[in-house]
Amino acid sequence: MARQDFLFELGTEELPPRALARLSEDLTRGVVEGLKKQDLAHGGVKSYATPRRLAVLVENLDTVRAGQVNERRGPALSAAFGDDGIPTAAAQGFARSCGVTVDELETLKNERGAWLVYRTRQADVPTATLLPAIIAAALAALPIPKRMRWGSLTEAFVRPVHWVVMLHGDQVVEAGMFGVRAGRETRGHRFHHPGALYLPGPAAYAPLLESSGRVMADFAARREAIRGQVMAAAAEVQGEAVIDDSLLDEVTGMVEWPVAVVGSFDAAYLRVPAEALVSAMKGHQKYFHLVDEEGCLLPRFIAISNIESSAPDLVREGNERVIRPRLADAAFFWEQDRKTPLAQRLEDLKHVVFQKKLGTLWQKTQRVTALAGDIARRLDGSADWAERAAQLSRCDLLTDMVGEFPELQGIMGRYYAAHDGEPAEVAQALDELYMPRFAGDRLPVSVTGQALAIADRLDTLVGIFGIGLTPTGDKDPFALRRAALGLLRILIEQRLDLDLLSLLKEAAASYGDAPRFDQALPGNVFDFMMERLRAYYHDKGIAPDVFTAVLQRRPTVPVDFDDRIRAVETFRGLPEAESLATAHKRISNILRKAPDTVPGEIDTGLLREPEEKALASRIEALSRETAPYLARGDYTCVLTTLAGLREPVDAFFDEVMVMCEDDGLRGNRLALLASLRKMFLQVADLSCLQAVQGS
């Protein structure tokens, strides 16, 4: 079957830079899925995306969709014809229902039998007639929160559309969308080559745009070109560029022909905290900042221009001119904010609503203060420092700097607290309150910071759950999933021996007799957090059944939960694991079906068979041996030691009848199995393991 390349390009007004990569990926995915649904084979697929275009190139796409064969099965041949070969009523009825005679029917034979069958063959369909609908469906499925309309069109898209290219081979696909007919002319750079560019075929698209149109259409290639230019430009001025991936993506979505421009600003601004200057450069102007060998901010920046100017100095001066007032604002805020100590802002939090049903930030602060002090005491830290940090923790939200740069909350609190003469750990805790800010971010290291970060997240989780605003689907306006995961990371990765369920109960109690804050609330929040913990371990490569095995024991201390996870993972690698896990399942099934009156202890006088005597003796010995391991939470040693039960357990099941007729012997053997199961359940429910890797 003949194949030819296919190109689709949608030319638009400037697309949202942060959403550009996602739009491109989803468009390509939609096109590929549409081709698959139509049974159209093809080769490689390439995405292109710039601020003014989304494009997809499909290599070696079928030029026609082969006619499909529909098959309708009728009666078996044995029932379709009599001994004389004459069609039966069943065969004639089937033929009439198909609108044909019996002679026009075909036969289907396989190893299971033979039947009459009616086959219809559809005509081949030119691919070009299917492509417009495939493209339209892919565009309609794009994740665009708000679509806009322009002119008198009823169609809507994220931005107005100016041109459409649709080529299959060297032929234009007849189609129209957004008031534009598809053609074979693309557009170059808005300033370098605003005119049309004739495309002889799909393969010429990217090379022609780059050579003649001054457009780097490949998003990934353009991104790496920007990275290279930024690094080279920084090296020329003896600096190191700090390249944030999210900023790099955003800048890539803003330009079609990137040109790095190095600018500078007055070194006097360096008296302002570096984070504020960086926020001004990154957040407002999308500049990359530079640091020296020691990581200190340099009075330079790198901007990415979308034009190769004949007067680069004017471009540089223009960028320096627009950043100057931003830095001046940051310097002004820095000076003004420090005139009012953080502590003096506390009362003003009474006028800032946290959540209308949960009161003000001042009320939240009072709850967090008590909880943070108690947590600090449990961690052998300073309750006074934790309470002081909690009192100051939200005060920087009222500063001008954080008002202008919300991403600096906590960071500016640290600076202002230090300026006010607060203890260093208290100041540090104001920053650590927000850690981790994102996946993989660093965690609070000071006890005061840990206590504050834990207390604040507990209060938020319990409060929002208490008023019924739990996350649903993709909606999580209070970022409860992130709060839960951050809290769990702090407890586990910082090895904090704290009981999560106990803390949740304490946090719930701080709300008093508020509606819906009942006894079930802490448990509901705990269950929600366990699902976050499931995702946490999934990301770390822990098998789901390992997590379930530990969860069945419902440990409420996350660091203890983690120790059990590691122990079960180690156990799975032992040669004895397969046999013991299978035995555990068998024991669980036996005990589940057994009467409720299983004796609580083993009667050694009722041990008859050598195998049950050997198992009982081994259980007793290992119980004494594992006791000190359990006492110190060394679950790996517990399970490794219990692996020694493999041989006596196997021998027991091979030679001993558990459910025998003698009531006394049966009960005693059930007690023996219950004792064995109890030993394993001290760590995890191994019967949950599905795919143990044994020898």
Q: What is the pLDDT of residues 618-643, one digit of tens each?
A: 888 888 888 999 889 999 998 888 88
User: Which region among 6-10, 485-489, 647-651 has the lowest average model confidence (pLDDT)?
Assistant: 647-651
pLDDT at 49 over 80: yes
Given pLDDT bands bounded at 50, 70 and 90, which one contains residue 332? very high
Q: Structure pTM?
A: 0.82
Region 475-485: mean pLDDT is: 92
CB atoms within 10 A of CB 637: 17
> Which residue has better confidence, 341 or 106?
341
pLDDT at 517 over 90: no
What mean pLDDT is reported for the chain? 91
pLDDT at 666: 79
pLDDT at 691: 56
Determine the Cα–Cα distance for residues 365 and 348; give it in Å rounded to an integer. 12
* pLDDT more than 90, % of the chain: 69
pLDDT at 694: 39
Tokens at residue 78, please? 């044995």
pLDDT at 567 over 60: yes
Given pLDDT bands bounded at 50, 70 and 90, which one contains residue 183? very high
Given pLDDT bands bounded at 50, 70 and 90, which one contains residue 83? confident
HSE of 412, CA atoms in CB hemisphere, 13 A: 30
Region 566-593: mean pLDDT is: 81
Determine the Cα–Cα distance for residues 231 and 51; give it in Å rounded to an integer. 23
Question: Is the bond leading into 436 cis (omega within 30 degrees of zero)?
Answer: yes
pLDDT at 408 over 90: yes
Domain map (residue ranges) of the chain? 3-65+126-211, 69-121, 219-337, 342-541, 562-688
CB 328 within 8 A of CB 321: no
Q: To which CATH superfamily is domain 3-65+126-211 assigned?
A: ACT domain (3.30.70.260)
Region 187-198: mean pLDDT is: 94
Q: Tens of pLDDT along 414-454?
A: 999 999 999 999 999 999 999 999 888 999 999 999 999 99
pLDDT at 389: 98
CB 11 within 8 A of CB 163: yes
pLDDT at 693: 43
> Given 3-state DSSP classes, what are the helix, strand and coil percentages for the chain, each rounded to the nearest 5?
55, 15, 30
Label residue 558 exposed, middle or buried (CB < 10 Å: 0-12, 13-18, 19+). buried
Region 636-651: mean pLDDT is: 85
Q: What is the DSSP letter of 107?
A: E
How many helical (H) and strand (E) elements, i.e. helices and strands, does the chain have?
25, 20
pLDDT at 515: 52
Task: Classify 108 as helix, strand or coil.
Answer: strand
- Over its C-alpha atoms, the chain yields an Rg (Å, rounded) of 35
User: Which region among 89-98, 177-186, 527-536, 617-626 has the lowest average model confidence (pLDDT)?
Assistant: 617-626
What is the CATH topology of the domain spanning 342-541? Hypothetical protein af1432 (1.10.3210)
HSE of 126, CA atoms in CB hemisphere, 13 A: 8
User: Which region among 181-195, 252-266, 360-374, 562-576 has the lowest average model confidence (pLDDT)?
Assistant: 562-576
Determine the Cα–Cα distance for residues 378 and 336; give it in Å rounded to an integer. 39
pLDDT at 596: 67
- Could you say which of 1.20.1070, 1.10.260, 1.10.3470, 1.10.730 is the CATH number of the domain covering 562-688? 1.10.730
pLDDT at 611: 83
